[in-house]
């Protein structure tokens, strides 16, 4: 037996866990010798049962830790013996690992799985049943073997779930009991008796007296209507009752074809409560073809379901096959189901199932649509020829406001629309964006033959500010048709422009039409208005909101020369949308130079800013506006406009031979116009003194000039004037000064308008500012301050310390927030471009050696004694004193040590340990990327990084490398500690001088080659620093080779937050956010490979709601060819997506590996997922 010392720390932790769980003294007395290995499994039957219900959050953490120890099996057995299924709560943090651990009895793992999460509602979903089968290795016989232990120790529910799946899988196409083997007939009898027993329990819990009489009647098929009516349904009971009722109905339905008794139970459930029974059957299937929606066309006869009840349920659940058959068989019942007031019973059951009200009106519309399609003559007779009564629709549209009656009169066609204008604000407030009215109208018009009334309704939605207007056609012509309606109803120009704004802001999610399409259609409409009603249109544009003014410029530019004065009239507009459109126009109108010069003298700063931006653009294109800008700069007092002017003049002056300003002249120029007032917030409290390099204290004006150089810049970055002034100052004191500036800025709320502080602090703030910026970068994105965080990482890249650039490199590779990660990437790209190398080559250069020499040693000098620190192949540190004796850690300085040397050495060691942790983490991430993306090095570059750098040397000896020609592996080799190279057969290998070297991917090796390399690493006792040889591999199958959609994980249902966490952790980002903050793709792009991949799923709001989402397909494409951004509707479509056989095998394998990790948490599947996914061919 395994012997464990009673004083063992881990045993003490187990005892502590038992105490926190309030396990009884008797149970602890039994558990201690069992945990020590002094007693065997025979004691497990002696434990007193208790339920682990409400437990504190630290218990699952402690249990997770203990389950990683050598006695995990005994701990599991003890907790299971005490708590059975409730110990799922104890193992909450490691439940998936426990359930997958095959050293634990399978039936126990089943119980934990069934008692975890949503499975406590008794009834399993189709996906959960599939997972049950998967746990049983897809073997019906394994399922069968579980019945006995489950019945003996756990109870009916567990055994019935297993039995129901067993028979469904064993006899998927059976029509009767005669299809079963004799051995299973006895098992079916157990199935029947168990389920009748559950029915008995349900009747008792309901308080029904003649419960045995009813059970006997169900068994024999003799249940009468009077008996069923006396039992009644489950709607008046507690939640436990209807959950149990659903369990009974679904468990019987799964195999009713194999048993008359099971069929009788289904019929009884229908007789007790038809609607509740139908919902219980809705998800009772293993394969979708077995579902009631697919197979239930004749179930009204088979199970005795009232046709009208069946039709209403089928309408609510949109079960088209059932409705088609019922329409043919029972048209009179179908027509009666068109009354929405008769849906109370099905609505009640719907609420039980889905926790919200069903849409009875929507169900009736579904019936009407199907009737129109299947029986047009009957539809015309019953609905089409009927005189409409619009009052219900009017009441849906008009909010309860003071002038509601006036709006109703307009909708009835009894007054002009202009009568509503004075009360527009009232209607807007009452309508509250208009989702419900718009949705009601969209449905109503499908079966309304009064187009004039529908037109008035659309006009009223515009008056009420409804942003949910659905277009009849989602095209530019559809947009024009809507404006034709508005104009035909005499809606004035101001309100028509408001209608455009609603459509444009609403976008595809709200209106079903992309903003670009809305703009395209509206431009044509208003261009015609401008031609035929010029003044009215111009006046309306002048009163419009930002979207309307944007439309105005789009229309005016169609004839820019004619509309010059009107276009220039928007020069002072403060809207970014409008200003962007205006600048696009003005940049092309170089003939308007004199008008722009006049604009440069305008009173409003916004107009002067526009003029400077236009002149700057022309200047960059070779225009000569230097003198104009210089003259204007002398008079300019607005800091922002002045900065723009300076930036423009720098372009011209960069190549001039003008005499540079002295430091004093520079200080005076920067202070001109009282600009130091903008720094008053920072000088409310004093700064530390800063001295010049000559020893004199620097003046406040001088130090302010350094800060003003950054404050006046239009874009953040290195400021040459600030660098010039800083050269005359004590570097350490200036670093302290700007750190104090940063602290004051943070304390004041880190105002984004003063983001220049980031650059001043990072460039001059030394090592101290790096930690501060790193901390801010972790916090800001979580506070919805992504923009300032992105600015901070750009600033961090300008810090002269190598540690700063290493941190930026780490952020660029793996950071939770895309905006910051992209900013880090941009910063590195810029730095690399300045050096004329690639970003990856830059990342190689900035890997620090941490002070180690090529023998992997670093010496720390305490004066009287020295210590050598070595870095091991496992990337750990070993410390040796000067006698060569290994010590546990570098000791703290002693009295005999040189105080200055020892303190400096000890501090350097602590900093080195921190840097080592950061560096190892970042380099592991880089090597993971290099392995997945096939990063290549020349021999010289590889030697510089992996041979000469002592840290990377230790990585290199644990990995298998390859020499490549193009994409083909020519030789695999290993780098040895002595500096030589080995083959898999342990023969010496010489690197070709012109070789291209990359990490070998296991997909490129045979099983024999992998085995040989594993054996060699094992012989040298080397553990690979990243998973390489044991990495899972995935090849494109013959069946999927010609497809553009990879659907291996299609239908997997996962939690939205879990999906986001796993994918972003692997370097993916959410796709374009569309209308309503909704997105339905994740993607990643690997630019070195030129590859991208896009994962499509059922979609979710950007904030996430812990909801379930369904995975669809993955598509590979050329990186950079899919446009991303808010309200951008581009994707890897049929033209952009590669066929799977065209994807590099290594990249395909790596992506499938990542997605398999994501899908691992899925416990259920949507078998109907392909109906909602738009797969590529």
Instruction: Transcribe 100-131 into DSSP letters.
Output: H-TTS-HHHHHHHHHHSGGGGGSPPPHHHHHH
* Residue 742 predicted with pLDDT over 60: yes
Could you tell me if 840 and 904 lie in one domain? Answer: no
360-394 pLDDT per residue, tens:
888 999 999 999 999 999 999 988 777 778 998 99
- Give the pLDDT confidence score for residue 586 in this predicted structure: 96
pLDDT class of 119 with cuts at 50, 70, 90:
very low
* Residue 120 predicted with pLDDT over 70: no
Name the burial class of residue 281, with classes exposed (0-12), middle (13-18) and buried (19+) by CB atoms within 10 angstroms of its CB.
buried
Could you tell me if 1001 and 1085 lie in one domain? Answer: no
* Residue 418 predicted with pLDDT over 80: yes
* Residue 1057 predicted with pLDDT over 80: no
**CA–CA separation, 633 and 649 (whole Å):** 10
* Residue 572 predicted with pLDDT over 70: yes
Is residue 615 included in any domain, yes or no?
no
Could you tell me if 353 and 411 lie in one domain? Answer: no
* Residue 652 predicted with pLDDT over 70: no
* Residue 669 predicted with pLDDT over 70: yes
Is residue 234 included in any domain, yes or no?
no
- Give the pLDDT confidence score for residue 1078 in this predicted structure: 78
Enclosing H/E stretch for 964: strand 960-965
Q: What percent of the chain has pLDDT over 90?
A: 57
**CA–CA separation, 960 and 952 (whole Å):** 14
At 542, list the tokens: 């002048």
Instruction: Look up residue 237 and give its DSSP letter.
Output: S
- Give the pLDDT confidence score for residue 654 in this predicted structure: 38
Domain end marker among 811, 845, 879: 845
- Give the pLDDT confidence score for residue 638 in this predicted structure: 79
Q: Do residues 850 and 890 lie in contact, with contact meaning Cβ atoms separated by under 8 Å?
A: no
- Give the pLDDT confidence score for residue 1088 in this predicted structure: 76
Q: Which range has the worst mean pLDDT, 346-350, 384-388, 1107-1111, 1171-1175?
A: 384-388
Phi-psi map region of 299: left, alpha, beta (phi>0 left; psi -120 to 50 alpha): alpha
Strands (DSSP E) found in 802-889: 857-861, 866-871, 877-881, 886-887
- Give the pLDDT confidence score for residue 3 in this predicted structure: 35
Could you tell me if 418 and 560 lie in one domain? Answer: yes
3-state helix, strand, coil in the chain (%, to 5): 60, 5, 30
Kindly report the pTM of this predicted structure.
0.55
* Residue 1105 predicted with pLDDT over 80: no
* Residue 242 predicted with pLDDT over 90: no
- In sequence order, what are the residues at sequence separation of 6 or more whose Cβ sits closer than 8 angstroms to the Cβ of residue 835? 842
**CA–CA separation, 795 and 793 (whole Å):** 5
Q: What percent of the chain has pLDDT over 70?
A: 95
- In sequence order, what are the residues at sequence separation of 6 or more whose Cβ sits closer than 8 angstroms to the Cβ of residue 457? 393, 397, 411, 441, 445
- Give the pLDDT confidence score for residue 121 in this predicted structure: 54
Is residue 247 included in any domain, yes or no?
no
Across the range 179-202, mean pLDDT stands at 94
Q: Do residues 433 and 468 lie in contact, with contact meaning Cβ atoms separated by under 8 Å?
A: yes
772-792 pLDDT per residue, tens:
998 898 888 878 788 898 889
- Give the pLDDT confidence score for residue 787 in this predicted structure: 85
Could you tell me if 885 and 998 lie in one domain? Answer: yes
Could you tell me if 570 and 423 lie in one domain? Answer: yes
Q: Do residues 184 and 165 lie in contact, with contact meaning Cβ atoms separated by under 8 Å?
A: no
Is residue 893 included in any domain, yes or no?
yes
- Give the pLDDT confidence score for residue 643 in this predicted structure: 74
Q: Which range has the worst mean pLDDT, 6-20, 750-764, 1033-1047?
A: 6-20
Could you tell me if 683 and 705 lie in one domain? Answer: yes
* Residue 1161 predicted with pLDDT over 70: yes
Q: Do residues 300 and 326 lie in contact, with contact meaning Cβ atoms separated by under 8 Å?
A: yes
* Residue 922 predicted with pLDDT over 50: yes
422-432 pLDDT per residue, tens:
999 999 999 88
455-465 pLDDT per residue, tens:
999 999 999 99
- Give the pLDDT confidence score for residue 498 in this predicted structure: 95
Mean of per-residue pLDDT scores for the chain: 88
Could you tell me if 580 and 679 lie in one domain? Answer: no
- Give the pLDDT confidence score for residue 1007 in this predicted structure: 93
- Give the pLDDT confidence score for residue 509 in this predicted structure: 60
Is residue 814 included in any domain, yes or no?
no
- Give the pLDDT confidence score for residue 834 in this predicted structure: 52
Across the range 312-324, mean pLDDT stands at 96
**CA–CA separation, 961 and 997 (whole Å):** 7
DSSP secondary structure letters along 674-715: TGGGGGGGGGSSPPPP-BBTTSSBPPHHHHHHHHHHHHT-SS
Highest mean pLDDT among 833-837, 1003-1007, 1105-1109 belongs to 1003-1007
Phi-psi map region of 512: left, alpha, beta (phi>0 left; psi -120 to 50 alpha): left
Domain of residue 937 covers 857-1019
DSSP secondary structure letters along 512-579: SS-HHHHHHHHHHHHHHHHHHSHHHHHHHHHT--HHHHHHHHHHHGGGTTTTHHHHHTTTT---HHHH
Across the range 824-851, mean pLDDT stands at 78
**CA–CA separation, 803 and 783 (whole Å):** 26
| Distance from chain centroid for Cα 778 | 18
Is residue 282 included in any domain, yes or no?
no
Could you tell me if 1075 and 940 lie in one domain? Answer: no
Across the range 660-678, mean pLDDT stands at 81
- Give the pLDDT confidence score for residue 9 in this predicted structure: 59
Instruction: Look up residue 1127 and give its DSSP letter.
Output: T
Is residue 718 included in any domain, yes or no?
yes
Across the range 869-876, mean pLDDT stands at 86
Enclosing H/E stretch for 316: helix 307-316
Domain end marker among 327, 361, 384: 384
Could you tell me if 416 and 480 lie in one domain? Answer: yes
Place of tokens 């070195």: 1088
* Residue 1071 predicted with pLDDT over 60: yes
Strands (DSSP E) found in 976-1014: 981-982, 996-999
Q: Do residues 260 and 221 lie in contact, with contact meaning Cβ atoms separated by under 8 Å?
A: yes
Across the range 1087-1105, mean pLDDT stands at 82
Q: Do residues 524 and 477 lie in contact, with contact meaning Cβ atoms separated by under 8 Å?
A: no
Is residue 566 included in any domain, yes or no?
yes
- Give the pLDDT confidence score for residue 100 in this predicted structure: 84
- Give the pLDDT confidence score for residue 234 in this predicted structure: 57
How do beta strands 1078-1086 and 1091-1101 pair? antiparallel
Query: If we measure between CA atoms, which residue out of 1010, 1041, 1044, 1054 comes closest to residue 1136?
Result: 1044
**CA–CA separation, 719 and 1027 (whole Å):** 45
Could you tell me if 666 and 794 lie in one domain? Answer: yes
DSSP secondary structure letters along 412-432: TTSS-GGGGGGGHHHHHHHHG
| 1125 compared with 151, residue with greater pLDDT | 151
Strands ordered across the beta sheet of 886-887:
857-861, 866-871, 877-881, 886-887
How do beta strands 937-938 and 960-965 pair? unpaired
482-516 pLDDT per residue, tens:
999 999 999 999 999 999 999 988 766 667 778 88
- Give the pLDDT confidence score for residue 920 in this predicted structure: 87
- In sequence order, what are the residues at sequence separation of 6 or more whose Cβ sits closer than 8 angstroms to the Cβ of residue 76? 67, 98, 101, 104, 108
| 704 compared with 670, residue with greater pLDDT | 704
**CA–CA separation, 971 and 85 (whole Å):** 54
Could you tell me if 1065 and 1156 lie in one domain? Answer: yes
- In sequence order, what are the residues at sequence separation of 6 or more whose Cβ sits closer than 8 angstroms to the Cβ of residue 182? none
Residue 1025 to residues 915, 924, 955, 1009, Cα–Cα distance (Å) = 18, 7, 6, 19
DSSP secondary structure letters along 455-487: HHHHHHHHHTT-S-PPPSSSSHHHHHHHHHHHH
**CA–CA separation, 790 and 780 (whole Å):** 10
Quote the number of domains for the chain: 6
Q: Do residues 319 and 296 lie in contact, with contact meaning Cβ atoms separated by under 8 Å?
A: yes
| 841 compared with 726, residue with greater pLDDT | 726
Domain end marker among 1004, 1019, 1034: 1019
- Residues 1040, 1044, 1048, 1054: what is their CA dihedral angle, to the nearest 10 degrees? -170
pLDDT class of 4 with cuts at 50, 70, 90:
very low
């Amino acid at each position: 037996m395994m012997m464990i010392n009673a004083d063992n720390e881990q045993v003490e932790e187990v005892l502590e866990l038992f105490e926190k769980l309030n396990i009884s003294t008797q149970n602890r007395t039994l558990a201690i010798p069992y945990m020590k290995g002094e007693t065997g499994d025979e004691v497990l039957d002696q434990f007193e049962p208790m339920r682990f219900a409400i437990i504190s959050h630290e218990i699952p953490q402690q249990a997770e830790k203990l389950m990683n120890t050598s006695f995990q099996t005994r701990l599991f057995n003890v907790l299971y013996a005490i708590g059975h299924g409730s110990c799922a709560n104890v193992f909450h943090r490691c439940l998936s690992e426990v359930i997958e651990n095959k050293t634990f009895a399978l039936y126990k793992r089943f119980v934990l799985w069934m008692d975890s999460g949503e499975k406590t509602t008794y009834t399993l979903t189709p996906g959960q049943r599939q997972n049950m089968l998967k746990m049983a290795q897809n073997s019906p016989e394994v399922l069968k073997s579980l019945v006995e232990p489950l019945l003996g120790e756990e109870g009916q529910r567990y055994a019935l779930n297993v039995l129901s799946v067993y028979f469904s899988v064993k006899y998927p196409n059976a029509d009767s009991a005669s299809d079963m083997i004799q051995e299973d007939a006895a098992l079916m009898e157990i199935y029947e008796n168990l389920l009748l027993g559950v029915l008995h329990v349900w009747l008792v819990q309901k308080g029904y007296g003649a419960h045995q009489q009813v059970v006997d009647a169900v068994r024999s098929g003799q249940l009468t209507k009077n008996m069923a009516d006396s039992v009644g349904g489950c709607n008046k009971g507690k939640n436990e009752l209807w959950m149990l009722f659903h369990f009974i109905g679904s468990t019987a339905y799964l195999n009713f074809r194999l048993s008359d008794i099971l069929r009788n139970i289904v019929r009884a459930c229908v007789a007790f409560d038809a609607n509740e029974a139908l919902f219980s059957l809705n998800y009772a299937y293993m394969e979708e073809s077995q579902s009631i929606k697919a197979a239930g066309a004749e179930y009204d006869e088979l199970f005795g379901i009232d046709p009208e009840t069946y039709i209403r349920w089928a309408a609510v659940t949109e079960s088209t096959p059932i409705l088609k058959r019922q329409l043919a068989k029972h048209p009179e019942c179908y027509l009666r189901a068109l009354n929405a007031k008769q849906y109370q019973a099905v609505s009640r059951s719907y609420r039980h199932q889905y926790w919200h009200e069903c849409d009875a009106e929507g169900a009736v519309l579904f019936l009407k649509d199907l009737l129109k399609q299947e029986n047009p003559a009957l539809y015309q007779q019953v609905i089409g020829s009927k005189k409409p009564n619009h009052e219900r629709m009017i009441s849906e549209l008009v909010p309860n406001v003071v002038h509601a009656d006036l709006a109703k009169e307009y909708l009835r066609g009894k007054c002009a629309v202009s009568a509503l204008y004075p009360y527009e604000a009232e209607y807007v407030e009452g309508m509250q964006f208009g989702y419900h009215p718009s949705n009601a109208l969209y449905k109503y018009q499908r079966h309304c033959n009064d187009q004039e009334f529908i037109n008035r309704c659309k006009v009223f939605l515009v008056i009420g500010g409804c942003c949910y207007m659905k277009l009849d056609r989602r095209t530019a012509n559809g947009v024009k048709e809507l404006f034709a309606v508005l104009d035909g109803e005499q809606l004035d120009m101001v309100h028509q422009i408001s209608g455009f704004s609603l459509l444009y802001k609403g976008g595809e999610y709200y209106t079903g039409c992309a903003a670009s399409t809305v703009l395209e259609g509206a431009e044509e409409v208003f261009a015609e208005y401008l031609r035929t009603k010029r003044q009215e249109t111009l006046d309306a544009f002048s009163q419009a909101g930002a979207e309307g003014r944007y439309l105005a410029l789009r229309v005016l530019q169609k004839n820019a020369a004619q509309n010059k004065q009107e276009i220039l009239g928007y020069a002072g507009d403060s809207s970014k949308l409008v200003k962007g459109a205006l600048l696009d126009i003005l940049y092309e109108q170089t003939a308007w130079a004199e008008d722009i010069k006049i604009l440069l003298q305008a009173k409003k700063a916004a107009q002067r800013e526009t003029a400077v931006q236009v002149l700057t653009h022309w200047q960059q294109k070779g225009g000569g506006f230097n003198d104009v800008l210089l003259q204007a700069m002398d008079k300019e007092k607005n800091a922002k406009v002045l900065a723009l002017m300076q930036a423009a003049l720098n372009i011209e002056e960069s190549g001039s031979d003008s005499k540079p300003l002295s430091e004093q002249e520079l200080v005076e120029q920067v202070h001109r116009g009282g600009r130091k007032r903008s720094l008053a917030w920072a000088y409310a409290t004093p700064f530390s003194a800063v001295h010049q390099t000559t020893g004199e204290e620097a003046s406040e004006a001088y130090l302010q000039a350094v800060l003003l150089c950054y404050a006046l810049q239009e874009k953040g970055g290195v400021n040459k004037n600030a660098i010039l002034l800083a050269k005359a100052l004590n570097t350490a004191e200036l670093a302290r000064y700007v750190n104090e500036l940063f602290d004051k800025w943070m304390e004041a709320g880190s105002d984004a308008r003063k983001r220049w502080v980031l650059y001043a602090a990072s460039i001059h703030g030394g090592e101290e500012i790096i930690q501060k910026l790193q901390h801010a970068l972790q916090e800001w994105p979580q506070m919805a301050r992504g923009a300032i965080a992105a600015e901070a990482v750009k600033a961090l890249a300008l810090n002269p310390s190598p540690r700063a650039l290493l941190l930026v490199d780490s952020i660029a590779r793996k950071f939770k927030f895309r905006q910051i990660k992209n900013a880090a990437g941009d910063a590195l790209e810029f730095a690399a471009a300045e050096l004329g190398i690639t970003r990856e080559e830059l990342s190689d250069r900035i890997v620090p050696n941490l002070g180690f020499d090529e023998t992997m040693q670093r010496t720390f000098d305490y004066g009287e004694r020295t210590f050598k620190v070595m870095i091991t192949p496992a990337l750990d540190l070993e410390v040796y004193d000067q006698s060569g004796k290994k010590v546990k850690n570098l000791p703290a300085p002693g009295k005999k040590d040189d105080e200055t040397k020892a303190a400096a050495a000890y501090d350097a060691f602590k900093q080195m340990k921190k840097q080592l942790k950061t560096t190892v983490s970042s380099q592991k991430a880089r090597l993971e990327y290099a392995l997945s993306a096939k990063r290549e090095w020349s021999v010289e570059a590889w030697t510089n990084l992996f041979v000469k750098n002592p840290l990377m040397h230790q990585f290199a000896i644990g990995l298998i490398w390859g020499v490549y020609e193009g994409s083909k592996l020519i030789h695999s080799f290993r780098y040895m500690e002595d500096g030589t190279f080995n083959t898999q057969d342990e023969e010496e290998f010489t690197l070709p001088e012109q070789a291209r070297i990359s990490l070998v991917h296991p997909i490129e090796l045979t099983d024999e080659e992998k085995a040989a390399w594993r054996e060699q690493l094992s012989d040298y006792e080397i553990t690979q620093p990243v998973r390489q040889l044991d990495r899972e591999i995935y090849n494109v199958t013959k069946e999927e080779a010609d497809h553009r959609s990879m659907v291996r994980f299609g239908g997997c249902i996962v939690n939205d937050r879990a999906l986001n966490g796993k994918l972003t952790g692997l370097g993916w980002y959410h796709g374009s956010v569309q209308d309503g903050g909704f997105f339905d793709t994740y993607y990643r792009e690997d630019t070195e490979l030129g590859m991208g991949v896009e994962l499509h799923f059922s979609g979710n709001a950007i904030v996430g709601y812990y909801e379930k989402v369904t995975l669809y397909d993955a598509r590979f494409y050329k990186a950079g060819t899919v446009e991303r951004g808010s309200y951008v509707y581009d994707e890897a479509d049929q033209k952009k997506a590669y066929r799977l056989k065209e994807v590099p095998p290594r990249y395909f394998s790596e992506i499938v590996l990542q997605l398999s990790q994501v899908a691992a948490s899925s416990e259920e599947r949507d078998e109907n997922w392909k109906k909602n996914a738009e797969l590529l061919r």
